[in-house]
Amino acid sequence: MKTLLINGSPNEKGSTWTALRMVADVLEEEGVEAEIFQVPTDPVRGCSGCRVCKKQQTNRCVLDDDAVNVIIKKMETADALVLGTPVYYAAPDGHLLAVLNRVFFSGTAAFSGKPAAAICVARRGGTTATLEVLQKYFTIAGMPIAPATYWPMIHGLSGEEIVRDEEGVQSMQMVGRTMAWLLKCIEAGKAAGAVYPSPPGGQKIMTNFIR
């Protein structure tokens, strides 16, 4: 079993990485492989709405010069996902959002049915709004969410500061525990013959509000 943890902070080894490392340490203690992937700070384009990925059903974005397709490929062999971000203006890092919009639209098949969690780091506020944005990617992709003891947030401006947030540290560790638990439950379910359900009728229905 393997979990991909994505660091959406432009600071490669800052507070967000430290929080993700807390989650990864627990996963590894539970026998789950953990890889932290750093989103590059190179310029990244948002989704152009071309829908080529849907028409060709490639499970890849047609814009192939950044981290988007790299992440999709990693998720094809991963069993779970954890997203980490700092809080900027009560929202996730904009660079990360541009990546995620394309990752989840073009690579949905690599994510569906796999458990996920989002964590965020803030000096003080904006955390719940940030988590809401990230968790919506999971719900639309059909990903069960691994919970914490509270909302999965931790506070501080640096890695040195966040380790002093005792409740936040416990929340990060609990994300690791519940994620490992979900993965083991899914493995047990598969062994017992349980499969992730398809939409009624076998195909997703899409309707427009304007006729």
pTM of the model: 0.94
Mean pLDDT, residues 118-133 taken together: 96
Specify the amino acid at residue 197. P
The predicted pLDDT at position 43 comes to 87
- Tell which phi-psi region holds residue 25, choosing left (phi > 0), alpha (psi between -120 and 50) or beta: alpha
For 56, counting Cβ atoms within 10 Å of its Cβ (0-12 exposed, 13-18 middle, 19+ buried), the class is: exposed
Domain definitions of the chain by residue range: 2-191
The predicted pLDDT at position 209 comes to 80
Q: Which residues contact 88 (CB under 8 A, 6 or more apart)?
A: 94
The predicted pLDDT at position 120 comes to 98
| Alpha-carbon distance values, 189 to 24, 181, 182, 193 (Å) | 24, 12, 10, 6
Structure confidence by residue, pLDDT tens digits, 51-103:
998 888 889 999 988 899 999 999 999 999 999 999 999 999 999 999 999 99
Model confidence band, residue 34 (pLDDT cutoffs 50, 70, 90): very high
Model confidence band, residue 203 (pLDDT cutoffs 50, 70, 90): confident
The predicted pLDDT at position 13 comes to 92
Distance separating alpha carbons of residues 4 and 83, to the nearest angstrom = 9
Dihedral sign, Cα of residue 13, residue 28, residue 113, residue 128 = negative
Model confidence band, residue 169 (pLDDT cutoffs 50, 70, 90): very high
Which fold does the domain 2-191 belong to in CATH? Rossmann fold (3.40.50)
Distance separating alpha carbons of residues 39 and 111, to the nearest angstrom = 18
Model confidence band, residue 211 (pLDDT cutoffs 50, 70, 90): low
Characterize the bridge pairing of strands 153-155 and 116-122.
Answer: parallel
Q: What is the mean pLDDT of the chain?
A: 94
The predicted pLDDT at position 103 comes to 96
The predicted pLDDT at position 58 comes to 87
Whether residue 76 contacts residue 110, with contact meaning beta carbons closer than 8 Å, is answered with yes
Whether residue 82 contacts residue 4, with contact meaning beta carbons closer than 8 Å, is answered with yes
User: CA nearest 106: which of 43, 45, 63, 145?
Assistant: 63
Residue 25 has pLDDT above 80, yes or no: yes
The predicted pLDDT at position 198 comes to 86
The predicted pLDDT at position 207 comes to 85
